[in-house]
Amino acid sequence: MRHSRERREQILIALAEGEADVDVLAQRFGVSPSTVRRDLQRLSKEKAVMRTYGGAILAPSAVEETLAEREVRNIEAKQAIARAAAAYIQDGETLILDGGSTVTALAQLLRERTLRVITNNMKVAWMLTDAPGISLILLGGTIRPISMTSYGPLAEEAMRTLTAARLFTSADGVVAERGLCEATLEQASLKRLMMRQAAETFILADSTKLGAASQSAWASFPERWQLITDRHAPVEAIAPFIDAGGKVTQA
């Protein structure tokens, strides 16, 4: 199952690079054309691609909201998720704080803690830069103004030299069978690397993001991960994540 998810993720990257032919994709990934067609059918059902004659193209992405727009949505749920996430953090730990409004809400709760924080989140860096107990590492790279985060080869090169006890991350959508979706391949690439460099990953996502596949770039779940969502998430929305091997906390 994990192998097929990883192959579908690589197919999305190939489509983004302009490769759309089933036979060429089959040769590239060492599988049969029928296997690629099944993968594309699955991705089409998840609205990640649009089928074409003989292949597929990436589906158009939803319009991405700015950080400021996201910060005023579902405030109560995000604050509850942030409080639940903070309870897992022990003083003296090294953390990775990714982008996102819920991760930013978590950072607001950490100013009095003693921690080492690695982040690509410009707003988190601004919040914590003068916190007396925080040792702060800001990942450099290209800045995305819409999300106030850094990404790209410079950010990834720095991230490869660092490890952490826990990563706290979010996404535009979280799907049990696929992982976390983002607006760009570069964001998803850095997120995958962050998950590899952390011993444990916490995904902070309010109930509106569960099952949502609004963007076309994906990062698969790591070995150890936990979803923290809000109390409004129904049982049927949470069950697939437990089946996929994650732990789920409702704040």
- pLDDT tens-digit profile of 91-116? 999 999 999 999 999 999 999 999 99
Q: Report, as an integer, the average pLDDT of 68-72.
A: 57
> Among residues 208, 190, 204, which one has the least CA distance to residue 249?
204
Is the whole model's pTM more than 0.85, yes or no? Answer: no
Q: Does domain 67-250 bear CATH number 3.40.50.720? A: no
Nearest to 208 by CA among 102, 87, 60: 102
pLDDT at 6: 75
* Statement: residue 44 has pLDDT above 50: yes
Q: Is the pLDDT of residue 70 over 90?
A: no
Least confident segment among 58-72, 118-132, 164-178: 58-72
Mean pLDDT score of the chain: 88
3-state secondary structure of 175: strand
Lowest mean pLDDT, pick from 80-94, 107-121, 182-196: 182-196
Kindly report the CATH number that applies to the domain delimited by 1-58: 1.10.10.10
Question: Quick one: tokens of 158?
Answer: 């720095």
Question: Tell me, what's the pLDDT at 4?
Answer: 76
Q: What is the pLDDT of residues 128-182, one digit of tens each?
A: 999 999 999 999 999 998 888 999 999 999 999 999 999 999 998 999 988 999 8
Calculate the alpha carbon distances from 96 to 21, 73, 107 in Å: 38, 24, 11
How is residue 228 annotated by DSSP? E
pLDDT at 1: 44
Could you state, in order of their start, the residue ranges of all structural domains in the chain? 1-58, 67-250
Task: Give dist(CA 88, CA 173) in Å, integer.
Answer: 23
